[in-house]
Structure 1
Amino acid sequence: MIVGIGNDILNIKRINLKIERRILTDLEKDNGKLSAQYLAGRFSLKESFFKAIGTGLGENSFKDVSFVNNKFGKPYAVFHKDFKGFNFCHVSLSHDDYVFSTVLLERVKGKIFLGLGSNLGQREENLKNALEEIQKNNIEIISISSLYITKPYGYKEQDDFYNIVIEIDTDLSPTNLLNTLLYIEKKMGRRREIKWGPRNIDIDILFYGNLVVDLPNLKIPHYDFENRDFFIAPMYEISKDFVHPISSKKMFEYFSNLSINWRKLEWNLKNI
């Protein structure tokens, strides 16, 4: 469902490069060469975004969102503030003497993916309990992968992990979702003592639709997704055509490059 749309047109000749300090984030400064066209494009996209969320600039800042180009030269949004109400942001930008921008916001059911893992105690039971806690917090579970038994990542002197990926639907914003998951981990007795060390439960946000979030305490998509087989394999199982919002690769492209170094188990909560 489309929840917001914003359009903007701007004459490039009217752009004063002095507004760069007010408009561009550090990420945008690093992403493209400063020019009237580049600055006009970013200014126009931000105007379109704030129109799409229905507030205008208001209490927001131009630096709450960056628009950077992917490897194909297509711009996408990076959010530096917690916004709610949508999980897909579509961006269009074209220019000649003017720049023309459109930002369309969608609320699509599901398409939010969590990775869960456990290697302490009754691992399968820990995962089941975590799923129950997730549902108790008004989060709908849409699909659950098989169990993947994998070797530990990073810190090797520990037991194998049981891993799953789930697709969920929620009205929680990215930050509120993170806080809910941290609450569940704490409630279940999670202790953070050794980086990449043993844990009875670990819950990570892998993807939140196609949103890219860059906050001090939250990076979406998961910052190291492409190096973690225990995320890629179950993601491929439940959503092989899902597109990584930064690399533009589908899950089957990631999966095709993997060497199988896990055991896969069916379990009785795969379909709920």
Structure 2
Amino acid sequence: MIIGLGNDIVDISRVDEKLQRRILTEEERKNKGGKITKEYVAGRFALKESYFKALLRGLSGNSFQDISFLNRIDGSLYAMHHRYKPSRNGLYNYIHASLSHDSFAFATVVLEKLHGKVFLGIGTNLGNREENIQKTIEKLSEISKVLSVSSIIETEAYGKTDQPSFLNCVVEIESNFAPDELLNELLRIEREMGRVRIEKWGPRIIDLDILFYGNLVIKSDVLTVPHYDFENRIFFVKPMYELAPNFVHPVSLKTVREILDELENKASKSKS
């Protein structure tokens, strides 16, 4: 379902490069690399104006620093949220953006809500691990609709290896919360399950991670989505492959199937 649509057009010749201080985020400056041009500033201005229009909010209550529009290595465009705001029409979990240049910069942004497409990782290596996972899924079902649950797999501890092995699975939910709100709910569930954060990568009764929130890319002080190390963690990738093998990572544009193949090939080479 389309939640919002916005477009904007900017005359590049009328843009002052000094506007970059107001328009561009630090991520966008780094992404550009070389000299910041009028064309680049005009394009980001048009994209952000389009985004605000898609939110049905205009600039009121929003900031040009709330979102970055970045280019992948192949030049394709994606958005990175630094502060997520729902549209006046509701939550969205997909954002689509396009930009064209000539003497004008023309941008379009579409916000979309697709059913489900929010994937969470669950891990545990203390106590009754199977029971921990079951209780956690029950708690998740109290705050959001659980659409699918992968098989449970057992893997050795990652990062800090001198601890018991983990049971892991992935669930897909229909989120009733914005990403930061969902994070707060997951932290609450962890606390209710008895999790105490003492040591990074240490043993834990339960661990809940937001792996993906649709195709949104989020980088804020409290949240990074997709999970920053998803593509290296077999205990995320393998269960998610079971649920959504063709799901596309919004930054690398690799499917979960491709990511799993790469991990398994790497593991096979390391053994030979």
What TM bracket, shorter-length normalisation? Answer: over 0.9
Hey, what's the Cα distance between the residues in 1 that align with 2:141 and 2:9? Answer: 44
Q: Choose from 89, 112, 117 the match for 1:111.
A: 117
Q: CA deviation at 1:257?
A: 1.5
What is the TM-score when the length of structure 1 is the normalising length?
Answer: 0.94
**Counterpart residue number, 1:155:** 160
**Counterpart residue number, 1:265:** none
Q: How does 1:61-80 map to 2 (within 5 A)?
A: 61-80=63-82
Hey, what's the Cα distance between the residues in 1 that align with 2:84 and 2:217? Answer: 11
Q: CA deviation at 1:193?
A: 1.2
**Counterpart residue number, 1:253:** 258
Q: CA deviation at 1:82?
A: 2.5
Check conservation: 1:150, 1:261, Cα contact below 8 A: no
Question: Higher helix proportion, which one?
Answer: 2
Hey, what's the Cα distance between the residues in 2 that align with 1:25 and 1:207? Answer: 23
Q: CA deviation at 1:28?
A: 0.3
Q: CA deviation at 1:71?
A: 1.8
Q: CA deviation at 1:133?
A: 0.5
Hey, what's the Cα distance between the residues in 2 that align with 1:260 and 1:199? Answer: 30
Instruction: Read off the aligned partner of 2:82 and give its amino acid letter.
Output: H
Hey, what's the Cα distance between the residues in 2 that align with 1:146 and 1:6? Answer: 41
Instruction: Read off the aligned partner of 2:18 and give its amino acid letter.
Output: K
**Counterpart residue number, 2:49:** 47
Instruction: Read off the aligned partner of 2:64 and give its amino acid letter.
Output: F
Hey, what's the Cα distance between the residues in 2 that align with 1:218 and 1:110? Answer: 20
**Counterpart residue number, 1:123:** 129
1:27-52 Cα distance to aligned partner (Å, 9 max, x none): 00011141011111000000000000
Q: CA deviation at 1:261?
A: 11
Query: Structure 1 stretches (4+) deviating beyond 2 angstroms?
Result: 258-262
Identical amino acids, percent of aligned pairs: 51
Check conservation: 2:93, 2:113, Cα contact below 8 A: yes
Root mean square deviation, CA, Å: 1.3
Q: How many residue pairs end up in the alignment?
A: 261
Hey, what's the Cα distance between the residues in 1 that align with 2:52 and 2:84? Answer: 14
Residue 259 of structure 1: SS of its match in structure 2?
Answer: helix
Structure 2: tracts of 5 or more residues without a match: 268-272
Q: CA deviation at 1:136?
A: 1.2
Hey, what's the Cα distance between the residues in 2 that align with 1:31 and 1:63? Answer: 15
Q: How does 1:252-271 map to 2 (within 5 A)?
A: 252-259=257-264
Hey, what's the Cα distance between the residues in 1 that align with 2:201 and 2:113? Answer: 34
Q: Choose from 234, 245, 251 the match for 1:229.
A: 234
Residue 207 in structure 1 maps to residue 209 in structure 2: no
Q: CA deviation at 1:70?
A: 1.1
Q: CA deviation at 1:191?
A: 1.1
Hey, what's the Cα distance between the residues in 2 that align with 1:189 and 1:38? Answer: 49
Check conservation: 1:240, 1:250, Cα contact below 8 A: yes
1:3-47 Cα distance to aligned partner (Å, 9 max, x none): 000011111101111111000000000111410111110000000
Q: CA deviation at 1:258?
A: 2.2
Check conservation: 1:12, 1:98, Cα contact below 8 A: yes
Check conservation: 2:232, 2:263, Cα contact below 8 A: no
1:111-163 Cα distance to aligned partner (Å, 9 max, x none): 000000000000010000000001112x0111111111000001111111000
Check conservation: 2:248, 2:255, Cα contact below 8 A: yes
Hey, what's the Cα distance between the residues in 2 that align with 1:242 and 1:191? Answer: 33
Q: CA deviation at 1:259?
A: 2.9
Q: Choose from 200, 210, 216 the match for 1:195.
A: 200
Check conservation: 1:77, 1:211, Cα contact below 8 A: yes
**Counterpart residue number, 1:269:** none
